[in-house]
Structure 1
Amino acid sequence: MTRYVRLLVIAGACVYASAQSAQLPLGPSTFTAPGTFPTSLYKAYYNNPTATSAQPQPVILDPVSHKIYPFSLTNPERIPQSNTQDPHILPPPASDALLLQNAISQITALAANPVFANSTCALCQATLEVAKFLALAAPTQGPAFAVALCTQFKLSSTCAATYGPTALGAVLTQVFANADVGGYDGQMICQNFLGGACAMPPTSQLDLTGWFAKPKPNPLPPPKKPSGERLKVLHLSDFHIDPRYATGAEANCTSGLCCRANNFNTLSPNTTLSAAPRFGAFKCDTPLSLAAAALEAIPVLAGTEKTGFALTVYTGDLVAHDSEPQLSRDYILYTETLVYDLFKRTLGSGPVYAALGNHDSYNQAQDATHSLGGQLAQQFSWNYDHVAALWQYEDWIPESAANLARAHYAGYAVERKDGLRIITLNTDFANWFNYVNLSHPDTSGMLRFLTDELQAAEDAGDRAWIVGHVLSGWDGTNGLENPTDLFYQIVDRFSPHVIANIFFGHTHEDQLSIFYANNGTSIAADTALATAWMGPSITPLTNLNSGFRVYEVDSATFDIVDAHTWRSDVSSYPALDAQTQFGPTYVYEYSTRAAYGADIPWGANDSLNATWWHHVTEQMEANSALVTTFHGFQGKQSVRTQPCTGDCIEAKICYMRSGSSTLSIQNCPRGFGSVQGG
């Protein structure tokens, strides 16, 4: 075992040499965590935290609600199968007048819809018509209809569990009751959720009249002068901590989340084919042992043990990939309390600016728009109130920002004293509630909030960072076309003089998007405006290594001068079970500047801005080996990443140049976005 660790140190030193010459010093190139769990992290446990046969189960006290979460919430041996405790809100019954109004409007929409030449789409939308009127007239029957719809269209093998009254059935009933199922909303539902029954409708024509309070300055204000002083900024994403991780359970299950006591490999149901290592596996989320090891490694490797980070951006997804029946409000609140407390006590004194991920909610991935009105508009406020209070309790954001988070789906803005404005968004652009009035690109008002904050930043002469979870572009499979199209225009309006950087997560992979002027109609170095960095995940799910990133940021411009990424080889974890001396090893993976900039004439202190990244894509067009390098980094050098050849090369470059789903769908080859196939 000792020899193995030494080999990692030697390998790490080779790729780390370029970072040692950087202006901002880092720590050692490699860190191996202790093999035993650091029991001092918590005052009390429900089990023996030093045992290697089970994951530690700390006793968690919520500082907001003052509630102690019971062991039954996270007991890996008894995972709940149905949440009947929390409310599952249904829309109120409609009046006869409203039924008549909707009947007339839907008949009109159906008669005017040219898509009905397609019989499959016609059938799908007609089915949704039935769902709509049932949801309006008898909402209590909506979940049962959702189950029938799932069965009819063969959407799942667990229709009752997924779409029943204690799962997503109530959500779908609300959507059916409010959506224009005979028009654009229905087409998109049939395309994205009902087996592609309808063709993808084109992005709606965007009318920006009156959207911006002021035109873009011409000429732009002079750029801020770099200070030469660099800040260390940590980017963490997609922790997906699994408090129900069962060490020794099946790590190669055939459905659902693996490393769970209730999930098996159906090919050999009575035998464990691949026992879950205590530090994690490729088809599993993050056990507490891996989370502790990563958080112990980060300050050492970044060289911030004594100073802390200037700030940290966390781009969402705290909660594990539990199936809907295993989730509950308490499970979400527990996870938020656990992870943010860990960040506070391990990362140092710098603030953490966090965005809500699509998994950080119950029902999963849902955020109801305020436009629904009444109690439906407030049905997720319990979560926004909780995270806002936690962020304020940890002293990361002031009361004013916490109040913004409560009112804006956990999105907020912080006007820092150093001239940087942090704007965090709830970017869950593809949840069910966004399929109500989908032809409007901002039904939630989130992008209105963003625009107003950017205008305030421009007026104040501030630079701005945008922090979200679901990315707006790349391969077009994540954000919806209309809202990401509007987001792109907002980025265009306020770049490059206001927006310094954009940060996303969600995919678990190391990716990047470039935004260009005039909606990407001219792809060139002189039209490149802004960059979105997608942070690598801590979770290995699926077929990935665990990783994190640290940016070198100029303290005056808040531009990124270099970015350093570390990874931990998940394929090495099974060998760690036989001993308790060593835990996971995190090794230096690469410097962004060194990996991609060898042939780009760029000053040592010039920022890695959108222009630089466009030059990188030009180098990729000339030398496909650079795409191979990017592809390897995308999965954090996982042994399960398959090669990128043929059309994949062109696709990767195109994805990097696509900051909206619309651009990617229009311009890029399909099917090469992820490396998680294994």
Structure 2
Amino acid sequence: MTTHKLLHNSLRGEASWLTCELCSTAISLIRLYPSVSTTQTVFVQMCSSLGYEERHICSGIADLFGEEFVYILSNSKLSHTEICGLVIAPRCSSNNDYPYAPKWIIPLTKLNSTLKEMLINRQSEEEQSLNKNLAKANNSEILHLSDIHLDMYYQMNAYASCSEPLCCRTGSSHSSKSFHAGYWGSFGNCDTTIRTLESLISTVANDYADQYRYLLFTGDYIAHDVWNTSKQEIITTTRKLNKIFRQNIPEGKIVIPVIGNHEGFPVNQFCPPQLGIRRFSVQWLYEELLDQWKDWIPADMHETFRENGYYSLSDGPTRFIVLNMNYCARLNFWIAYDHIDLGDMLKWMESELQNALQWKQIVYIAGHIIPDNEECATHWTIAYNDIIEKYSNIIKGQFFGHTHMDEIRLYYSNFNRSKAIGVAYATPSVTTYGDVNPAFRLYNTNFLGTIVDHRTFYLNLTESNKEFKLASPMFTPQAKWQFEYSAREAFNMSSLSPQEWHRVMSTIKDNKKILDKYYQFYGRYSGEEVKMKPDAAKLELVTNRVFVRF
């Protein structure tokens, strides 16, 4: 999820004229007077005077970002407005050439005749196999957890809905909207308690162990107090998580961990090693996580992960391509320093897809930030879409998180704008941050690896906290994780193919029942802001976010 209200509200792929002007003015001032003190002054003044956050929080964020931001702006070859168009919204670019001018095009590998023929043959082989094995059982389902945001300082009965971006801690401020944090967690800008996480991991280990082979953790393990964090805090939290995982995960499961934007220090900032700038390197993080995850990440991928934070994992006919999506993120300001394929990740992704094609493997793509026009740089998302279309015959699933909500993104063909060629899932979060109930998901696959359904489970926070209050002192409370919905059943789908998702989402504008159902699942029966949005606002969000078109 975005780091604080300033970034959450401003950097979403859309922007007003005022936002663009403020961005350009701020960059101009910092470039004119390139110093950390200038950056801090400009940022704090904008942040606090516009009412995004309290002044001490704005100051804490500015202290973390100042030195890195000055270096990037002083060395970037992009103009003020080009940077604003890149990190905020295309409309901020005064040249009106973003993202289609030649300088923004990311070069991709052209398929030779041999690879084209292999892709065509794969499709034909799958169709024949499907006709012969319609009833064949599946044993390779995927369990997906995302956006844990563990808060090791969560305090029951502390104030929720305080004036800071993260509440439910000793010392959280009180306001007219405040209420006391619950035993299992709380709405009101609060993150995950250790007991809730332990309950979740224990539940998926004991109650669902026979229902999945792959266990995905798609990033954001760190709490939302981004103005007050440190490298040591990130190391301590990830080690605590790793310990909980290893104490509960059954043997034989293939664990696939992913790096999120909150693992960076400062948050969101990931300077790739290819730039050769050691003072801002994130190698300390990659080294630490590799040490924690070394038996989950294949040995032949250790060096790749150590350098870039991404890797691939092969399991017989299945290959997971695990991306470090911070290299596409608008909030990673290093994209203003090197906007062409930061970290060489798309180049690497294409080579992995070619390897999978040659080895006759199917592919799942996993990452943290879901590729769209809001969170990723638009020109990067265009290139990603091109790759998805090129290899759509072998890409069977795309799994992300980051938004904390239950969402999808649909990608479309460059040659047929009504043909959906890919669907990416934003699995709902474990954290309650954003006023949502904690959740996890199981993806059902068939013998070809195709996703045929997904089932979502959640913890009703209000009921669970109420049960704790009513229980006797001798009662040991248990969190009740319950079934929420099946995608195929809820939306009456014949499959979970991209084109079938296109059909369902296209009917929303004419079917209030489906729209309301989508929003019910969007926030997992919680969050008054989600439930009370008028239909026009609901429809606008679905239209703007689900359909990724260029």
Shorter-chain-normalised TM-score: which range? 0.7 to 0.9
Listed one character per residue, the Cα deviations across residues 234-257 of structure 1 (whole Å, up to 9, x for unaligned) are 011011110011122112212221
The 1-side partners of 2:362 and 2:19 are apart by 49
Displacement after TM superposition at 1:454 (Å): 1.1
Q: Does 1:370 align with 2:267?
A: no
Is contact 2:406–2:521 with CA below 8 Å preserved after alignment? yes
Is contact 1:235–1:549 with CA below 8 Å preserved after alignment? yes
The 2-side partners of 1:120 and 1:327 are apart by 27
Q: 1:178 to 1:424 in 2, by over 3 A?
A: same
Q: Does 1:416 align with 2:315?
A: yes
Displacement after TM superposition at 1:222 (Å): 3.4
2:73 is paired with a residue whose SS is helix
Equivalent runs, 1:454-533 vs 2, <5 Å: 454-473=353-372, 476-495=373-392, 497-518=393-414, 522-523=417-418, 527-533=419-425
The 2-side partners of 1:175 and 1:403 are apart by 27
Listed one character per residue, the Cα deviations across residues 338-392 of structure 1 (whole Å, up to 9, x for unaligned) are 2133223323221211211110122111101334324146x11010111122111
Is contact 1:252–1:258 with CA below 8 Å preserved after alignment? yes
Equivalent runs, 1:506-655 vs 2, <5 Å: 506-518=402-414, 522-523=417-418, 527-555=419-447, 557-575=448-466, 576-579=468-471, 580-597=475-492, 600=493, 602=494, 607-638=495-526, 640=528, 641-655=530-544
Q: Does 1:434 align with 2:329?
A: no
Displacement after TM superposition at 1:442 (Å): 1.3
The 1-side partners of 2:23 and 2:141 are apart by 52
Equivalent runs, 1:253-272 vs 2, <5 Å: 253-267=162-176
Match of 2:342 in 1: 443
Q: 1:608 to 1:656 in 2, by over 3 A?
A: farther
Displacement after TM superposition at 1:174 (Å): 2.1
Is contact 2:421–2:499 with CA below 8 Å preserved after alignment? yes
Q: Does 1:276 align with 2:181?
A: yes
Question: What amino acid is aligned across from residue 465 of structure 2 in structure 1?
Answer: P
Q: 1:435 to 1:129 in 2, by over 3 A?
A: farther
The 1-side partners of 2:423 and 2:535 are apart by 26
Is contact 2:153–2:169 with CA below 8 Å preserved after alignment? yes
Is contact 2:146–2:220 with CA below 8 Å preserved after alignment? yes
Q: Does 1:292 align with 2:198?
A: yes
Is contact 2:367–2:399 with CA below 8 Å preserved after alignment? yes
Displacement after TM superposition at 1:130 (Å): 4.7
Match of 2:41 in 1: 148
Q: Does 1:229 align with 2:137?
A: yes
Match of 1:66 in 2: none
Q: 1:151 to 1:566 in 2, by over 3 A?
A: closer
Displacement after TM superposition at 1:196 (Å): 7.2
The 2-side partners of 1:623 and 1:123 are apart by 40
The 2-side partners of 1:143 and 1:578 are apart by 53
Question: What amino acid is aligned across from residue 517 of structure 1 in structure 2?
Answer: S
The 1-side partners of 2:81 and 2:179 are apart by 46
Displacement after TM superposition at 1:217 (Å): 2.0
Question: What amino acid is aligned across from residue 204 of structure 1 in structure 2?
Answer: Y
The 2-side partners of 1:493 and 1:591 are apart by 30
Q: 1:130 to 1:372 in 2, by over 3 A?
A: farther
The 2-side partners of 1:380 and 1:584 are apart by 37
Match of 2:305 in 1: 405
Question: What amino acid is aligned across from residue 646 of structure 1 in structure 2?
Answer: D
Q: 1:352 to 1:199 in 2, by over 3 A?
A: farther
Pick the structure with greater CA Rg. Answer: 1
Instruction: Give the alignment's Cα RMSD to 1 decimal.
Output: 2.9
Is contact 2:220–2:402 with CA below 8 Å preserved after alignment? yes
Aligned residues: 506
Q: Does 1:388 align with 2:290?
A: yes
Match of 2:241 in 1: 339
Q: Does 1:357 align with 2:257?
A: no
The 2-side partners of 1:441 and 1:308 are apart by 41
Please report the TM-score for the alignment, with normalisation by the length of structure 1: 0.69
User: Greater CA deviation, 220-229 or 122-131?
Assistant: 122-131
Is contact 1:441–1:486 with CA below 8 Å preserved after alignment? no
Q: 1:618 to 1:127 in 2, by over 3 A?
A: closer
Match of 2:10 in 1: none
Displacement after TM superposition at 1:204 (Å): 3.2
Question: What amino acid is aligned across from residue 428 of structure 2 in structure 1?
Answer: P
Is contact 2:162–2:175 with CA below 8 Å preserved after alignment? yes
Is contact 1:125–1:182 with CA below 8 Å preserved after alignment? no
Structure 1 residue corresponding to 2:148, chosen from 231, 234, 239:
239
2:235 is paired with a residue whose SS is helix
Unaligned 5+ segments in structure 2 are 1-16
Match of 2:3 in 1: none
Match of 1:99 in 2: none
Match of 1:88 in 2: none
User: Greater CA deviation, 479-488 or 196-205?
Assistant: 196-205
The 1-side partners of 2:68 and 2:181 are apart by 34
Listed one character per residue, the Cα deviations across residues 545-595 of structure 1 (whole Å, up to 9, x for unaligned) are 11110111124x211121111111122243214533333221111111111
1:423 is paired with a residue whose SS is strand
Q: 1:566 to 1:124 in 2, by over 3 A?
A: closer
Displacement after TM superposition at 1:420 (Å): 0.8
Displacement after TM superposition at 1:655 (Å): 4.2
Q: 1:196 to 1:583 in 2, by over 3 A?
A: farther
Displacement after TM superposition at 1:658 (Å): 2.3
Q: 1:323 to 1:190 in 2, by over 3 A?
A: closer
The 1-side partners of 2:323 and 2:437 are apart by 27
Listed one character per residue, the Cα deviations across residues 40-70 of structure 1 (whole Å, up to 9, x for unaligned) are xxxxxxxxxxxxxxxxxxxxxxxxxxxxxxx
Question: What amino acid is aligned across from residue 254 of structure 1 in structure 2?
Answer: S
Displacement after TM superposition at 1:334 (Å): 1.4
The 1-side partners of 2:439 and 2:21 are apart by 46
Match of 1:139 in 2: none
Q: 1:308 to 1:391 in 2, by over 3 A?
A: farther
1:589 is paired with a residue whose SS is strand
The 2-side partners of 1:639 and 1:172 are apart by 35
Match of 2:4 in 1: none
Equivalent runs, 1:129-208 vs 2, <5 Å: 129-132=28-31, 134-135=33-34, 142-154=35-47, 157-158=55-56, 159-164=58-63, 167-180=64-77, 182-188=79-85, 191=88, 202-205=98-101, 207=105
1:582 is paired with a residue whose SS is coil
Question: What amino acid is aligned across from residue 537 of structure 2 in structure 1?
Answer: C
Question: What amino acid is aligned across from residue 322 of structure 1 in structure 2?
Answer: D
The 2-side partners of 1:376 and 1:558 are apart by 43
Is contact 1:121–1:198 with CA below 8 Å preserved after alignment? no
Q: 1:551 to 1:444 in 2, by over 3 A?
A: same
Displacement after TM superposition at 1:534 (Å): 0.8
Match of 2:160 in 1: 251
Q: 1:186 to 1:513 in 2, by over 3 A?
A: closer
Displacement after TM superposition at 1:629 (Å): 0.7
